[in-house]
Amino acid sequence: MFEPKGEKIKRLLSSPYRDILGREKENITLRRRLELVLRKERKRRREASKVNELPGEWVSTPYGEVLVRERVYPWDYRHGDFPIGRALELPRQAISFLLPDLSADVDLSQFLFIDTETSGLAMGTGTYIFLFGAGFLVEEGFKVVQYFIKDYSQEQAMLHLIEELLSKFSLLVSFNGKRFDISLLETRFIINRMGMELDQFPHIDLLYPSRLLWRRVFPDCRLITLEREVLSFLRFDDIPGEEIPRRYFHYLRTGDLGLVLPIFEHNLLDILSLLALFFFIASLLSSPAELAPLLSADFSALGRFFEEREKLETSVACYQEELKGGGKRAYQAAKRLSLIYKRTGDYPSALPLWRLMRERMEGFDPFPYEEEAKYYEHKAKDYQRAKRLVEEAITRFKETEWILPPSKREEIYSLLHHRLKRLVRKLTTRNQEEGL
């Protein structure tokens, strides 16, 4: 219920906390009185937020104790737009797009989705993992386990449990794990003289396909952005990742377990999002035409992805979809698509694209002029038409050269005039031969 501001002030000043004002309460300002009351209230809430124990149970290892927390999400649980059970429907072919060398006998039950929370955001030897989270499929649904240590002295015990867990799986999935999580884990195993070799595991880092698909669509490719834009999942009362190390060190100083409870939840959400994002990316790569519009994916980037993997039919379809949109992405799609047609000898399809690029060009790009001139010079042997194209390119270049850096101007000028001189020589030679 709404409480008028004046009534709230009266209530606070008449509250039991008024006694903290002491004997000078009549002589201090209203602002100062409110500050003291609110400070007392914040202190009370902090005390109330303290908990006596963290969720989970302490597990003994040869190296000490580790807090282990486990949670199973049933198949009908939804994380944003993603029902956990949909993971079972993912065809193996979809997964192979993310990892082409995937072994034929590996299925999703052997995938381990991992995320770490650390004492710092740098990769120095002083940074260690205090919370390790991992998710995997079980008969009842998606199980998430978390290993937590109260201080650095328990690190070897946690690494022992991580080593045992990793030995049960064949493949790792992370978000930015190649640069951070996996590298840090390897460093900690080495420092603790433990023989775990993580390079034996095939690893899918979802940051890279995410950048491929959405870097030109969304402001950034942070996990929280992809959750909102792709998974339709919003976090409430979550803590920023950059705040986590500070919270952990504050916990070490104060012993306030309430400071680390939100870190558990943050890590849990990261792992659920890993599974959901993995499903959406793999599904998108499996059926780009149907899903790309729904997931706001970059058709041009998809086309490049499939082109690099020699899936030319799918690549062509993606580029053609991008052409419908117009703009810079469509221009780049036309360029890539024309090169595929040229490579396969389909010049009747390539020529209209080069003409379209000349019409839609912003500024100056020699590519469509050069490619079409090459065709008429080398394939059609129509030197006169090739010469007209180069002359048209030189005229347009002179109109826009001022926007180019000097080095680029010299490069383009040299390229065009070299081709023009060669065509003039060929025309002269042909005219002489025809005259004879």
CB neighbours of 406 closer than 8 A, spacing ≥ 6? none
334, 316 in Cβ contact below 8 A? no
CA 185 to chain centroid: 21
Q: Which helix (H) or strand (E) holds 420?
A: helix 406-435
Total-model pTM: 0.77
d(CA 139, CA 110): 13
Nearest alpha-carbon partner for 341 in 385, 372, 381: 372
Per-residue model confidence (pLDDT) at position 54: 79
Inter-helix orientation angle 383-400/367-374, to 10°? 170
- Count the Cβ atoms, other than its own, within 10 Å of residue 186: 14
Given a contact cutoff of 8 angstroms between Cβ atoms, the answer to whether 178 and 201 are in contact is: no
Which tokens sit at 327?
């703009």
- Sorted by sequence, the CB contacts under 8 Å of residue 209 that are 6+ apart come out as 98, 281, 285, 305
In angstroms, rounded to a whole number, what is the distance separating the alpha carbons of residues 45 and 37?
A: 13
Determine the residue type at 335: K
- At 26 the pLDDT is 46
What distance in Å separates the CA atoms of residue 62 and residue 160, rounded to the nearest whole number? 8
pLDDT value of position 45: 52
CATH code reported for the domain at 57-288? 3.30.420.10
Q: What span, in angstroms and rounded, lies between the C-alpha atoms of 72 and 74? A: 6
CB 12, CB 37: distance < 8 Å: yes
Q: Quote the CA–CA distance of 279 and 277 in Å, as a whole number.
A: 5
Task: Give the whole-angstrom CA distance, residue 195 versus residue 299.
Answer: 44
| Cβ partners under 8 Å of residue 198, min gap 6 | 166, 172, 182, 185, 186, 189
Residue type for position 281: I
Other CB atoms closer than 10 Å to residue 210's CB: what's the count? Answer: 22
The predicted pLDDT at position 343 comes to 93
User: Which burial class, exposed, middle or buried, applies to 367 when counting CB atoms under 10 A from its CB (0-12, 13-18, 19+)?
Assistant: middle
CA distances, 370 to each of 210, 283, 305, 392 (Å): 34, 39, 26, 11
- How high is the pLDDT of residue 22? 41
Residue closest to 338 by CA, chosen among 375, 309, 393: 375
Task: Provide the β-strand partners of residue 74.
Answer: 141
pLDDT for position 346: 95
Would you kindly state where each structural domain of the chain is located, as residue ranges? 5-49, 57-288, 363-436
In a structure prediction context, what are the per-residue pLDDT tens digits for the chain, which is 436 residues long?
Answer: 445 555 555 554 554 434 433 434 445 566 666 666 666 656 555 554 554 577 889 999 999 999 999 999 999 999 988 999 999 888 777 788 888 777 656 788 899 999 999 988 766 677 899 999 999 999 999 999 999 998 888 999 999 999 999 999 989 999 998 888 888 898 888 888 887 778 788 899 999 999 988 988 899 999 999 999 999 898 888 888 889 999 999 988 888 888 889 999 999 999 999 999 999 999 888 888 777 877 778 888 889 888 988 889 989 999 998 888 778 888 999 999 999 999 999 999 999 999 999 988 888 899 999 999 999 999 999 999 999 999 999 998 888 877 778 888 888 889 999 999 999 999 998 888 776 5
Question: How far apart are the C-alpha atoms of 145 and 134, rounded to whole Å?
Answer: 5
Residues 6 or more apart from 325 whose CB is under 8 A from it? 299
Q: What is the pLDDT of residue 105?
A: 64
Q: What pLDDT, on a 0 to 100 scale, did the predictor assign at position 354?
A: 95
